[in-house]
Structure 1
Amino acid sequence: MAHSVCVISTRAPYHGQSAREALDTALVSASYDIETSFLLMGDGVYQLLKGQDAGQIPRKTISAMLQVLPLYGIDTIYVDQASLKERSITPDVLQEGVTVLAEGELPQFIQQHSRVFNF
């Protein structure tokens, strides 16, 4: 197995620092030319909703930060289909460049990485 990292973000975008820490971890990993995947599950899927505006809180809009991932070689954001379904979210309301992983694909996807970080 080649050295690769999967960063899993499970928290809502503005609930504490977890979403930002997951994103920072993915960026640092990718900046060292390590194959890095970014996977959103649970409430983390809310990070992908279009039209976010964090102007009322002292934080940057997470969706804007996700858009820099391709600059670091992370071209695809993965999202758990079951998490979307549980929250009645359809893929058409998500940002561009998202790949939805079916429930059966998720374990194999995670296992193909040598390191997994869960936030």
Structure 2
Amino acid sequence: MAKSLLIVSRQAPWSGPSAREALDIALAGGAFELPIGLLFLDDGVFQLAPGQRPASIEQKDLQANLQALPLFGIDELYVAARSLTERGLVTDGLKLPAQVLDDAALRDLIQRYDQVITL
């Protein structure tokens, strides 16, 4: 049986390559049917925020990668409630449906996975 993998994406989509790399790892693992979860934490929650215009800052849009997640069997999407609140975001406006977790639930989530990668 394949080990489960939780990918923690902590970077905003425009702050460097980490956000794209997290999504690439998730999609590659999904292509091999690995059990994968994706947690958006800290500035990583901005990846799910609506109304982004990456071209205005000469960045590539991550929207296509995000929309491909379910196609690759990655349905376990999580977002930290504290990160949303601290950044003034609400769950109703997120680009993808994600389970919102408080701090205690985050600790439980991390314990459920065999391996955790943080980018």
**Structure 2 counterpart of 1:78, one-letter code:** Y
1:3 matched residue in structure 2: 3
Residue 51 of structure 2 aligns to a residue whose secondary structure is coil
Residue segments in structure 1 that go unaligned for 5+ positions in a row: none
2:117 matched residue in structure 1: 117
2:25 matched residue in structure 1: 25
CA contact (8 A) 2:9 2:39 kept: yes
**Structure 1 counterpart of 2:75, one-letter code:** D
2:96 matched residue in structure 1: 96
Deviations 1:47-71 (Å, cap 9, x if unpaired)?
0011222222443212332010011
- State the distance in 2 between where 1:65 and 1:52 align: 14
1:41 matched residue in structure 2: 41
Alignment identity in percent? 41
2:107 matched residue in structure 1: 107
1:15 matched residue in structure 2: 15
CA contact (8 A) 1:52 1:63 kept: no
- State the distance in 1 between where 2:61 and 2:85 align: 24
- State the distance in 1 between where 2:107 and 2:99 align: 15
TM-score, with length taken from structure 1: 0.91
Residue 104 of structure 1 aligns to a residue whose secondary structure is helix
Residue 5 of structure 2 aligns to a residue whose secondary structure is strand
**Structure 1 counterpart of 2:78, one-letter code:** Y
- State the distance in 1 between where 2:99 and 2:39 align: 9
CA contact (8 A) 2:36 2:76 kept: no
Count of residue pairs brought into register by the alignment: 119
Residue 105 of structure 1 aligns to a residue whose secondary structure is helix
1:87 matched residue in structure 2: 87
1:75 matched residue in structure 2: 75
Residue segments in structure 2 that go unaligned for 5+ positions in a row: none
Q: CA RMSD in A?
A: 1.6
- State the distance in 2 between where 1:2 and 1:101 align: 25
